[in-house]
Amino acid sequence: MAIHIALIVDRSGRYAHVWGEAPSWGKFSDQLEDLGAEVVEEQTDDWEGSTKDEISEDCVAINQLLSGTDFLPH
């Protein structure tokens, strides 16, 4: 499993960086779309060399998107 980071937008037009672990970018993107997020772009390369702790400071974990934020699914 690799860490992937996406820039997403919700129904209200708010943008967020979301991270998660998945076997591929495609699987991670599918997970986000299943939650109702519109995936704008992959940003994994922008975070290359960052630790999970560093990523967690600036990005929302996919498992917290629906319960820990004011995200509005499409």
Rounded CA-CA distance 24/20 in Å is: 11
CB-neighbour burial class of residue 65 (10 A; exposed 0-12, middle 13-18, buried 19+): buried
- How much is the pTM? 0.93
Query: Which pLDDT tens digit goes with each residue over 20-67?
Result: 999 999 999 999 999 999 999 999 999 999 999 999 999 999 999 999
Return the pLDDT at 20: 97
Task: Give me the domain span that covers residue 25.
Answer: 2-64
Domain assignment present for 69: no
The full length of the chain comes to 74
| Cβ 37 vs Cβ 28: under 8 Å | no
Indicate the number of domains in the chain: 1
Domain assignment present for 71: no
Domain assignment present for 73: no
